Structure formats: structure tokens, C-alpha cells
Amino acid sequence: MARPVPALLAGMRVPELARAHLLRLAAEVHETVNVAILQGAEVVYLLSETGDRLLTSHASVGMRLPAHCTALGKCLLAQLPEDIARVTLGDEPYPRRTDRTLTTWTELAADLVKIRARGYAISKAEYEVGLISVAVPVNWLDGSGSAAINASLPVTRATSEFRVRLTKRLLIAAAAINRELG
């Protein structure tokens, strides 16, 4: 019987298989797209492909951001059982980044219910003023939702119509990545 591979090492396949899909997606939507996993109360970026806009977000591999106020983090937390998500985040109040940051478990739990129901997460200026991000889950070692992909963009380009199109493109890319990951 084969020995189990540690989760982080097994997860290194995600960037390798996702790269072509994220490159295509970044070229189509002209925005920066990323793959991340949850580690404790933070998201850890595994891959980032930059869009061709002058004003764009920049993420580097290994970068860590708080899970409670990012679309990636909320998407990943929504894939966990509620009790585990709560323990993962630790003690409240969670650090406030903007006036829109959810800082209590009650607020965040209600948002996670909505995320589970619609299949994607959104962060509207919760991490940084003027920044909107949309994230969707992808499969990884542990099955559905153990990694996520996102796109972040300035609020000035995040029209309702564009967010709908972006979310559809993220879901298509996630489905393609899931097929490759098996």
C-alpha cells in the first residue's frame, strides 16, 4: 500500500495543471487570476497569472492573506464544515481591514451559507478599499473545495455585467482544472 502524500506536497500538482487554464483565463478577462489553498486562518497563493491591465492586483507565490476577508479565503472556508471553519479562524473579533470587513463569526457564518448556496465567493472591498474579488472552489487532494481560483480587480471595472461574465469564466476554468485533477 502506498504511503499517503502530505497535503501540501500533493497540492503542488494544482499549479502545474492549472497554469494553462489560468493563463487563458487571464488573457480572456484581462485581470490577474490566482490559485490558493487554506492554511490555518490564511490563504496561501500557489500560482498567480497577471492580466494585461496597467492597474491590476499583483500576488506572488507563497503570499499569505487573511481568510476571513478575502474571496479566496471565504470560498475555502465555505467548503469546510461550519465547526471546523470556525475553529480554523480562531478567536474573534477578526482583524478589520476596511469598514466592510466581517469581524465576527456570526457575520461570516451567514456569508458562508450564501457562498455555499451560490457556489462562489465575493469580497467587495473587505480586504482592501477599491478591490473586488470573485473566487470559486477547485478539487485538490481532499476532494471538492480544497483549493480555489480567483480574479481580483478594481471596483471601477467590476460592473455587474462583468462580474457575471467573470464568475462564469472562473467556473468554467475550475471545471477544466477539476477534470485534469481527476
Q: Domain ranges in the chain?
A: 7-181
| Residue type, position 124, single letter | K
Structurally, what CATH architecture does the domain formed by 7-181 represent? 2-Layer Sandwich (3.30)
Residue range 94-132, pLDDT digits in tens: 999 999 999 999 999 999 999 999 999 999 999 999 999
Confidence of residue 141 (pLDDT cuts 50, 70, 90): low
Distance separating alpha carbons of residues 178 and 40, to the nearest angstrom: 23
Percentage, residues of the chain above pLDDT 90 = 75
Residue type, 45: Y
pLDDT band for position 56 (50/70/90)? low
Q: Which residues contact 18 (CB under 8 A, 6 or more apart)?
A: 35, 47, 138, 149, 177
Task: Of 160, 129, 141, 176, give the one whose Cα is nearest residue 33.
Answer: 176
Does the pLDDT value for residue 72 go beyond 60? yes
The model's pTM: 0.89
Over range 51-64, report the average pLDDT. 78
CA distance 34 to 24: 12
